[in-house]
């Protein structure tokens, strides 16, 4: 019995049943409630799975502390932060229960004045690295990259207000690239992406694509 | 290019690129240059839509942002909010504020309200405007709001029940709302899906405030009319402020943006000139050999 | 109740073509154009072995519970292959994720990969690093890691969002050899200019199959191509009909 | 705002930005603070949602069959820690993947495939007809570029080349429009860092950096 249950066909069958159910509802509108409930499951399951990740993270950092690996002190900071934030949050109120206002205020302080600037700072690298990309990557190694760079410059002048002030034509020219070339090419990419996505689904249904079960795909073992 | 010159573990040229950028951007922040901001038709249209609100009209402003996206969202949102509150004072337009995407929405709304304090201070809370903070559920909450306003907005940020808020009386569904200002980062497709003026009779228009990069994405919806107008990012904010006649955060951003873009172009050109120069040099030395 | 007739027809046709492609390939394997990004994985890992530095892999922010499930699966399939190569050259690898349910999957997959290559003793559960469920946390962890450890190879296959720029930008500065692939249009140009080899758009999905080199998997790619030919034919015929003033297809689509 | 809060915010921002200069203890501290606090936040939210959606309804007898099943499936994840039953966790993964790919396929058929099949007329008045023509060519040639199993010979090679040109132009458009939203973040942060009290923290950071540059000259370049 246990051997039968261990077979990989079972999770694949579960996957197939769930996705077919959603699709059947999509095409016919037969069971909207069931479909909605199932989508809600994914969120609940995801939240339950947090424990897996947190265990892995704690094991990683606790081993570092235990072994006194390089930079182990930062692992201590990390673990302390988790507990400080979590405890102040829980004491401040959770799940519709109200808690201690002071704890809530401290929690808000951590969120708003410590974490918010920190995470915006991390996110702002998307701006800085755009220049790294222009500077390091934007070399016309071939004619097609050349086309890309010319269009990029036109669009940058279209987007920045100063471009329109330099030459009014950048407005309509950039808009034409955006509305016509981009839309047309994007359509082609979209169709391809949609088709490819469904093909992965079919392969997974047939049991070829098994990476989501933690196994190498069929043919790669 | 950056490989040869190194300081510590970090190539020097990269640091130089960042440093020049920081200096370039800091200049207009310290003393605004006042580079020209041409107003596009899209922003003009959105401004006119907002300006068409009359006494007793309901404006819903939904902010799907958090503090992480403050700097791209806040300039246009604050411009819109200023306009809305001005209209509320002058003509008696009623404004409803909330967000649905994450708990960060509430904090974000508090932050932009802080910046627009002079505009809402003379207004009566609960009669001219109301803030519901975060209505959890994202798209579900949006769908819920469209069909059952009272059931979705149960309590406001101060814990007041919706039945006790005078201005909320008589607002049952989305058809009772005149206009929508929907501010989002990368999920503009929720708006036409849930709150389309084509579907709800009373809803006259929707304005989508979104990232500049998301504009191509919403264009098909704008063409079909399921989104009426849009305001894009900080650039839209600068233009909107021009129309409002009072420059603010958006205009400063625009100076910095203009310089930033010119700098980007200069870098592309420089990188290519350097690349072509070194390539011709290496091919020449090969020929000599 | 309603029936989305035309959509169902298109969907069924596509599934059927992919299925037939797979069945036919069992008899006659199709020729698939090589994907440089996949061909060079082995070489890149070999280079990492020479340099004595690790390989870093990530599938980005997309997971299995949302609409990015297929591309994450394809990314994980590629990771299996990378793990195999790492086992072959005895190179340590590291996988960073923000989704907790991917942790056991990745652990199994990497272990499986090392095992297939015959070096399961090199596998270590610390190879999978979970950074909490938030994008910014993942960004900071990956940037710090790349700058500190300087992995020789940096790979990002999956549904990636803003972290693409942070991840590949840091990699470019640290001098890593970079591989990337995503179906998300926003980040394709970024990958195009920062990666040594990249998979554009739908190539990621096809790569999930092509990486195995198994005929039936390749057959599915043939099926996709047949469908795309069908789409091209559709476009041409509908244009001809439109010239003749007939709008049959326009009506059909709305069915 | 209180001045010390502004200072803390500026310090946090500069922690994050210090990687622009190089890998350093400040960034490491910021990195681990960020991961730790975010994890605390995630766990708080997770507990909050699970309490509201699962445990409170179950405890008060309002749980539906679906909720009980979801709870059981969620708990199955934890069989990973019990070797003999570890395989049960895959069943939950199967459900997750089922929902995810179901949603993905649902979202792909209409907007990605069927919706894109509609073509504008080539003979529309004015520029519109020409634009529609260009769009059709762009779409068709892009599809031709992505044909994997056909040898690129003859007309297909030309079509694929045209497709690549359009693809590159499309990438250029995306890259060009991308900069505006992206550099908005650093610009916004600089607005806080170049005015008091943030500017004092920035000056301090510059001083630390200058000291490092001066003392760094004597160090080997690999530190």
- pLDDT tens for each residue of C199-245: 988 899 998 888 888 888 899 999 999 999 999 998 888 888 888 87
- Element spanning B183, H or E: strand B179-184
The answer to whether position B266 is within a domain reads: no
Label residue D25 by pLDDT band (50, 70, 90): very high
Q: Which residues of A touch C84 (CB under 8 A)?
A: 216, 220
Return the partners of chain A (3 or more C-beta pairs < 8 Å): B, C, D
At C146 the pLDDT is: 93
Q: d(Cα A152, Cα A146) in Å, to the nearest integer? A: 10
CA separation for the pair C58, C93 (Å, rounded): 11
Contacts of B173 (CB under 8 A, 6+ apart): B146, B147, B148, B149, B200
Tens-digit pLDDT string for chain A (221 aa):
667 888 888 999 999 999 999 999 989 888 888 888 888 888 889 889 999 999 999 999 999 999 999 899 999 999 999 999 999 999 988 876 778 889 988 988 898 889 989 988 999 999 999 998 888 877 777 888 889 999 999 999 988 888 888 888 888 899 899 888 988 898 899 899 999 999 999 999 998 888 888 887 766 66
* Nearest one of B288, D131, C141 to A122, comparing CA atoms: C141
A67 CB neighbours in chain C (<8 A) are none
ipTM over 0.85: yes
How far apart, in whole angstroms, are the C-alpha atoms of residue A207 and residue D94? 12
Q: What angle do CA D60, D64, D67 make, to 5 degrees?
A: 95
Does the CB of D60 have a partner CB in chain B at under 8 Å? no
B interface mutation test: which of D138, D172, D180, D199 has the most B CBs within 10 A? D180
- The answer to whether the CB atoms of D12 and A151 lie below 8 A apart is no
Is the pLDDT assigned to residue D3 strictly greater than 70?
yes
What does the domain layout of chain D look like in residue ranges?
119-223
Answer whether C4 sits within 8 Å of A196, measured CB to CB.
no
pLDDT digits (tens, 9 = 90+) for C76-96: 999 999 999 999 999 999 999
DSSP code, position B123: S
pLDDT at residue number D223:
32
Average pLDDT over residues C4-29: 91
* Strand, coil or helix: B62: strand
Q: A135–B265: do the CB atoms touch at under 8 Å? A: no
The average pLDDT across D24-45 equals 93
Q: How confident is the prediction for chain D on average, in pLDDT?
A: 87
- Does the CB of B159 have a partner CB in chain A at under 8 Å? no
Give the CA distances from residue A170 to residues A162, A210, B264, D191, in Å, rounded to whole numbers and listed in that order: 10, 50, 16, 29
- pLDDT tens for D109-154 read 888 888 888 777 788 788 888 998 999 999 999 999 999 888 888 8
Task: Please judge whether A121 and D92 are an interchain contact, meaning their C-beta atoms are less than 8 angstroms apart.
Answer: no
The encoded tokens of residue C99 equal 């989704």
CA angle D70, D73, D75 (to 5 degrees): 110
pLDDT of residue B10: 55
Inspect the interface and report whether the beta carbons of A120 and B275 lie closer than 8 Å. no
Whole-number pLDDT of residue B2: 34
| List of residues 6+ apart from A3 with CB closer than 8 A | none
Task: Give the gap in angstroms from C-alpha A124 to the nearest C-alpha of chain D.
Answer: 5
Task: Say whether residue D174 is in contact with chain B using an 8 A CB cutoff.
Answer: yes
Under DSSP, is residue C101 helix (H, G, I), strand (E, B) or coil? coil
* Interchain CB distance below 8 Å, A214 and C217: no
* Domain layout of chain A by residue ranges: 10-69, 76-125, 138-207
Cα separation, C117 vs C110, whole angstroms: 11
Give all strands (DSSP E) within chain C, no chain letters. 55-58, 93-97, 128-130, 153-157, 177-182, 197-200
Are B225 and B198 in contact by the 8 Å Cβ rule? The answer is yes
Measure the CA–CA gap between D191 and B25, rounded to whole angstroms: 9
CA distance D39 to C114: 30
Q: Which of C166, C216, C221 sits opposite A126 (nearest CB)?
A: C166
- Examine residue A144 and say whether the peptide bond preceding it is cis (omega within 30 degrees of 0): no
Edge to edge, what strands does the sheet with C153-157 contain?
Answer: C128-130, C93-97, C55-58, C153-157, C177-182, C197-200
User: Exposed e or buried b for every residue in A63-86, given b needs 16+ CB within 10 A?
Assistant: ebeeeeeeeeebbebbbebbebbb
Q: Does C225 touch chain D (CB under 8 A)?
A: yes
pTM of the model: 0.87
Helix (H, G, I), strand (E, B) or coil at A168: coil
CA pair distance D203, D213, nearest whole angstrom: 15
Question: Residue B206 and residue B178: Cα distance in Å, rounded?
Answer: 9
- With b meaning 16 or more CB within 10 Å and e meaning fewer, what string describes B261-286? bbbbbebbeebbeeeeeeeeeeeeee
Question: In percent, how much of chain D has pLDDT > 70?
Answer: 96
The CA distance from C83 to C99, in Å, is: 19
For the record, the structure tokens of A39 come out as 């989508």
Phi-psi region of D107 (alpha: psi -120 to 50; beta: other; left: phi over 0): alpha
The answer to whether the CB atoms of A217 and C206 lie below 8 A apart is no
**CB A50 to CB C100 under 8 A?**
yes
A 18-47 residues with CB below 8 A of C? 23, 26-30, 42-43, 45-46
Reduced to 3 states, what is the DSSP secondary structure of residue A160?
A: coil
Is the CB of residue B70 less than 8 Å away from at least one CB of chain A? Answer: yes
SS3 assignment, position A70: coil
- For an interface test with D, which of A3, A27, A48, A174 has the most D Cβ atoms less than 10 Å from its Cβ? A48
Contact B8 D184 (CB under 8 A): no
Q: What is the pLDDT of residue C224?
A: 92
A50 close to C (CB below 8 A): yes
Mean pLDDT value across chain C: 90
Q: Do C73 and A220 touch (CB under 8 A)?
A: no
Say yes or no: D221 contacts chain B, CB-CB below 8 A. Answer: yes
C175 and B3: CB-CB below 8 Å? yes
Mutation for testing the D interface, residue in A40, A72, A127, A206 having most D CBs under 10 Å: A127
Is the pLDDT at D219 greater than 60, yes or no? no
Query: What is the domain count for chain B?
Result: 1
Min Cα distance D5 → chain B (Å) is 15
Instruction: Measure B265 CA to nearest chain D CA, in Å.
Output: 10
Mutate to test the interface with B, among D172, D179, D188, D212 (most CBs of B within 10 A): D188
C chain contacts of residue D162, beta-carbon cutoff 8 Å: none
For tokens 């955060």, what's the residue?
B249
Is B254 touching A (CB cutoff 8 A)?
yes
Residues sharing a CB contact under 8 Å with residue A47, sequence separation 6 or more, in sequence order: D46, D49, D50, D74
User: At residue C51, what are phi and psi to the nearest 5 degrees?
Assistant: -80, -15
Interface of D with C in 163-182 (CB under 8 A): 167, 170-172, 174-175, 178, 182
Handedness of CA A41, A42, A47, A48 (dihedral sign): positive
The CATH number of the domain holding residue B218 is 3.40.50
Helix H or strand E encompassing C250: helix C248-253
Distance CA D109, CA A195 (A): 8
> Which residues lie below 8 Å from residue C231, measured CB to CB, with a gap of 6+?
A191, A195, D113, D117, D143
User: Residue B45 pairs with which residues in a beta bridge?
Assistant: none
Walk me through the domains of chain C, giving residue ranges and CATH numbers. Answer: 5-29+215-253 (no CATH), 36-212 (3.40.50)
pLDDT at D46 over 80: yes
Partner C contacted by B68 (CB < 8 A): yes
Residues of chain B short of pLDDT 70, as ranges, are 1-12, 286, 288-289
Using a 10 angstrom Cβ sphere, with 0-12 exposed, 13-18 middle and 19 or more buried, the burial of residue C39 is exposed
* pLDDT of the residue at D217: 57
Q: Give the span between the Cα atoms of D46 and A43, in whole angstroms.
A: 10
Domain that holds residue B151: 55-252
Between residues C139 and B216, which one has the greater pLDDT?
A: C139
Parallel, antiparallel or unpaired: strands B10-11 and B6-7: antiparallel
Chain D residues whose CB is inside 8 A of the A12 CB are 94
Please give the angle made by the CA atoms of C130, C131 and C132, to the nearest 5 degrees.
105
User: What string of H, E and C letters represents the secondary structure of chain D?
Assistant: CCHHHHHHHHHHHHHHHHHHCCCCHHHHHHHHHHHHHHHHHHHHHHHHHHHHHHHHHHHCCCCCHHHHHHHHHHHHHHHHHCHHHHHHHHHHHHHHHHHHHHHHHHHHHHHHHHHHCCCCCCCCCCHHHHHHHHHHHHHHHHHHHCCCCCCCCCHHHHHHHHHHHHHHHHHHHHHHHHHHHHHHHHHHHHHHHCCCCHHHHHHHHHHHHHHHHHHHCCCCCCC
Mutate to test the interface with D, among C20, C53, C67, C99 (most CBs of D within 10 A): C67
Where are the extended beta strands (E) located within A63-216? 93-94, 97-98
């Amino acid at each position: 019995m246990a051997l039968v249950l261990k077979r990989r066909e079972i999770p694949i069958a579960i996957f197939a049943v769930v996705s077919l159910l959603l699709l059947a509802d999509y095409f016919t509108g037969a069971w909207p409630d069931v479909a909605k409930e199932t989508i809600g499951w994914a969120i609940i399951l995801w939240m339950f799975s947090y424990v897996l990740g947190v265990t892995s993270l704690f094991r990683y950092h606790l081993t570092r502390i235990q072994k006194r690996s390089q930079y182990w002190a930062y692992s201590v900071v990390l673990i302390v932060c988790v507990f400080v934030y979590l405890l102040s949050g829980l004491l401040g109120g959770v799940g519709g229960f109200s808690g201690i206002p002071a704890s809530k205020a401290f929690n808000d302080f951590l969120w708003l004045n410590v974490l918010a600037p920190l995470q915006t700072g991390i996110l702002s690298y998307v701006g800085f690295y755009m220049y790294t990309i222009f500077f390091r990557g934007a070399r016309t190694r071939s004619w097609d990259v050349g086309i890309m760079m010319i269009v990029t410059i036109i669009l940058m002048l279209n987007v920045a207000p100063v471009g329109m002030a330099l030459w009014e034509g950048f407005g309509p020219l950039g808009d034409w690239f955006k509305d016509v070339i981009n839309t047309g090419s994007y359509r082609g990419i979209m169709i391809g992406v949609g088709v490819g996505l469904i093909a992965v689904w079919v392969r997974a249904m047939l049991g070829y694509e098994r990476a989501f079960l933690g196994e190498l795909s069929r043919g790669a073992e | 290019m950056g490989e040869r010159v190194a300081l510590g573990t970090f190539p020097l040229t990269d640091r130089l690129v960042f440093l020049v950028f920081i200096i370039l951007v800091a200049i207009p922040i310290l003393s605004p240059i006042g580079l020209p901001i041409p107003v596009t038709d899209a922003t003009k249209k959105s401004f006119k839509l907002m300006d068409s609100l009359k006494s007793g009209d309901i404006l819903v402003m939904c902010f799907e942002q958090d503090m992480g996206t403050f700097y791209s969202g806040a300039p246009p949102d604050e411009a819109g909010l200023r306009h809305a509150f001005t209209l509320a004072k002058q003509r008696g337009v009623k404004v409803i504020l909330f967000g649905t995407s994450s708990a960060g929405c509430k904090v974000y709304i508090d932050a932009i309200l802080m910046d627009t304090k002079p505009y809402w201070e003379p207004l009566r809370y609960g009669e001219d405007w109301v803030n519901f903070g975060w209505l959890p559920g994202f798209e579900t909450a949006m769908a819920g709001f469209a069909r059952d306003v009272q059931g979705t907005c149960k309590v406001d940020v101060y814990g007041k029940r919706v039945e006790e808020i005078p201005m909320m009386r008589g607002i049952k569904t989305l058809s009772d709302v005149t206009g929508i200002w929907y501010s989002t980062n990368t999920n503009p497709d929720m708006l036409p899906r849930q709150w389309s003026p084509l579907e709800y009779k009373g809803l006259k228009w929707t304005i989508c405030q979104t990232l500049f990069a998301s504009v191509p994405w919403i264009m098909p919806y704008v063409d079909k009319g399921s989104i009426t107008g849009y305001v894009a990012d900080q650039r839209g904010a600068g233009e909107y402020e021009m129309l409002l006649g009072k420059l603010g955060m958006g205009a400063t951003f625009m100076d910095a943006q203009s310089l930033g873009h010119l700098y980007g172009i200069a870098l592309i050109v420089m990188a290519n000139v350097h690349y072509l120069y070194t390539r011709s040099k290496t091919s020449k030395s090969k020929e000599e050999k | 109740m309603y029936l989305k007739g035309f959509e169902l027809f298109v969907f069924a046709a596509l599934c059927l073509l992919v299925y037939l492609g797979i069945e036919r390939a069992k008899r006659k394997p199709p020729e698939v154009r090589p994907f440089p990004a996949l061909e060079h994985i082995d070489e890149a890992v070999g280079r990492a072995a020479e340099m004595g530095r690790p390989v870093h892999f990530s599938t980005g922010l997309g997971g299995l519970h949302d609409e990015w499930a297929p591309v994450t699966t394809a990314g994980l399939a590629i990771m299996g292959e990378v793990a195999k190569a790492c086992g072959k050259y005895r190179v340590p690898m590291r996988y960073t994720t923000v989704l907790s349910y991917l942790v056991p999957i990745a652990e199994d997959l990497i272990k499986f990969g090392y095992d297939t290559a015959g070096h399961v003793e090199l596998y270590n559960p610390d190879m999978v690093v979970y950074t909490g469920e938030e994008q910014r946390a993942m960004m900071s962890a990956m940037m710090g890691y790349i700058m500190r450890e300087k992995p020789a190879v940096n790979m990002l296959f999956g549904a990636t969002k803003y972290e693409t720029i942070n991840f590949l930008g840091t990699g470019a500065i640290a001098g890593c050899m970079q591989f990337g692939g995503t179906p998300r249009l926003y980040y394709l140009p970024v990958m195009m200019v920062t990666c040594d080899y990249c998979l554009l758009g739908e190539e990621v999905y096809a790569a999930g199959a092509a990486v195995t080199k198994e005929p039936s998997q390749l057959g599915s790619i043939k099926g996709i191509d047949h469908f795309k030919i069908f789409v091209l034919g559709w476009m041409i015929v509908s244009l001809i009909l439109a010239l003749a003033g007939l709008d049959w297809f326009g009506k059909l689509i709305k069915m | 705002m209180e001045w010390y809060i502004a200072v803390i915010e500026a310090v946090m921002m500069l922690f994050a930005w210090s990687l622009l200069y190089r890998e350093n203890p400040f960034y490491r501290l910021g990195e681990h603070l960020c991961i730790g606090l975010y994890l605390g936040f995630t766990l708080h939210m997770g507990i909050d949602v699970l309490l509201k959606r699962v445990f409170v309804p179950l405890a008060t007898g309002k749980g539906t069959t679906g909720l009980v099943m979801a709870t059981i499936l969620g708990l199955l994840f934890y069989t990973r820690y019990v070797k003999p039953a570890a395989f049960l966790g895959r069943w939950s993964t199967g459900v997750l993947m089922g929902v995810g790919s179901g949603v993905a396929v649902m979202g792909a058929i209409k907007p990605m495939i069927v919706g894109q099949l509609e073509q504008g007329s080539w003979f529309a008045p004015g520029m519109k007809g020409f634009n529609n023509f260009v769009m059709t060519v762009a779409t068709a040639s892009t599809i031709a570029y992505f044909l994997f199993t056909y040898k690129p010979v003859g007309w297909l090679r030309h079509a694929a080349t045209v497709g690549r040109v359009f693809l590159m132009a499309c990438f250029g458009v995306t890259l060009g429009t991308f900069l505006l939203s992206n550099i908005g973040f650093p610009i916004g942060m600089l607005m806080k860092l170049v005015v008091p009290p943030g500017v004092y923290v920035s000056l301090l950071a510059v001083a630390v950096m200058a000291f490092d540059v001066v003392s760094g000259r004597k160090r080997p370049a690999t530190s």
